[in-house]
Chains A and B, each alone.
Chain A
Amino acid sequence: PALQHIQKTTYGREEKLTSYRDITSYNNFYEFGTSKEQPAENAGRFKTAPWTIAVEGEVLKPRQLGMEELMKLAPLEERIYRMRCVEGWSMVIPWVGIPLASLIKLVQPTANAKFIEFISAADDATMPGVRAPILDWPYREALRLDEARHPLTILALGLYGEMLPGQNGAPVRLVVPWKYGFKGGKSIVRIRFVEKMPQTTWMRAASTEYGFYANVNPTVDHPRWSQASERRIGTGLFTKRIATQMFNGYAEQVGQLYTGMDLRKHF
């Protein structure tokens, strides 16, 4: 179903969009299976309405938010972002969403709140992947509070002007375009404001391979593969890889968040 009243923005206007078919048929969403095709095949039975998100922890005004309320927090915006997967492929996706900052403002974090944790749905009745002990379910991701407040960080509710399909993280997911795709928790049911840096799912699974920050960085390789270049999805069999950009091309907007940090250590 189409989303109404979407404001156009200038983000990513120069990019060629990845097709709707590719964006919705090539997914990493292990709750629906570990192959790229399984999420689209298995997400059909997943119920996304009604949906509420519990927002809790170090906040003055904890809330249970329904989707209707969430959509009224800020005008829906189209954000065309590059998405770089840690596996070395990338897409250009026209997301529809709201700035995460508008939700943060609503619940008013306390002075103790330093990080935000995002917890995804893990319903073993409708998510077959959850029955396998591949990862420590439910899926958890987290951001530092200043990263979460950054204007580029959004809660996405749709893509190509339509509500998100299940395989892309319906009904609401996180999108942080300067980080590897796995930072964007899908089908979020709980948002917790905390004082200490949370352990994320992939850090638990392999701490030497996936760090907390996971900023796109062509100069810091994944232990098992290079991150210097990427394959843009949808460009066909006979197209070269393209060079990966620092912070996925968003260095100008987000670089200052990491001044003074050793990005080899905080990968």
Chain B
Amino acid sequence: MISKSLLPWVKRCLFLLALLPLSRLFWLGFTDQLGANPVEFVEHSTGTWALVILLLTLTVTPLHRVPGWGWLVTLRRMLGLFMCFYASLHVLAYIWLDHWFEWSAIIQDIAKHPYVLVGFLAFICTIPLAVTSTDGMMRRLGKRWKTLHSLVYLIAILAVLHYLWLVKQDISQPLGYTLILAGLLFFRLHRKLKNKI
């Protein structure tokens, strides 16, 4: 159990924690430690953190049902927004650093290559979620808000597919994320079925 006065501090800590991956990129960039292929490094790092934060967001629901951990749910919105933030940086790195706004090449890349396409679709889906994340939008949308925000499951599936399809041969890393996602989805399905009985 966390007392109400502590909660704002937990939120501030989480905010700073979630900025660490970005700060690390700046630090490595300024000290010339991004390696031989810095563009690839930035793309991989921002993409990986978007996925990690997305999976953390999905872990909140199972955990907040643990007695005394209900406060976790107040952190979910911030996590979701940070996921969108890192996904945006990932897309920005791709469009700017990798392709220098050469839109014809970018559009061709999206149209011709399935792993780019699913990644792009996942990103597009995060935008309405970020836009409707405010209290006001939650009130206005009412019941539909929850329906809309179940898009997060589609985003997660597209994101791991994006990772699985992009690696050349060794799929052990994306497979790890896929298994974690499968576990999180299984938990929800299991609960849903149990509640019906």
Contacts and interface: CB of A to CB of B under 8 A. Distances in A.
Interface of A: 21-22, 25-26, 30, 34, 36-37, 87, 89, 132, 134-135, 205-206, 221, 224-226, 228-229, 231, 233-234, 236-238, 240-241
Contact of A26 (B29, B37, B98): B37
A21 B33 CA distance: 12
> Which of B35, B36, B42, B109 has the most chain A CB atoms closer than 10 A to its own CB?
B36
A134 B42 CA distance: 26
A20 to B, nearest CB: 11
Contacts of B34: 237
Contacts of B99: 241
B135 interface: no
B108 interface: yes
Contacts of A36: 35-37
A54 B156 CA distance: 51
Interface in B28-62: 29, 34-40, 42
B150 interface: no
Given A36-B36, A221-B112, A226-B109, A237 B169 contact: no
Given A25-B35, A224-B113, A231-B39, A237 B170 contact: no
A237 B35 contact: no
B163 interface: no
A34 B169 contact: yes
Given A89-B37, A233-B36, 9 more contacts: A26-B36, A30-B169, A87-B168, A89-B40, A224-B113, A225-B109, A231-B37, A237-B39, A240-B100
Contacts of A37: 35
Contact of B105 (A25, A30, A34, A226): A226
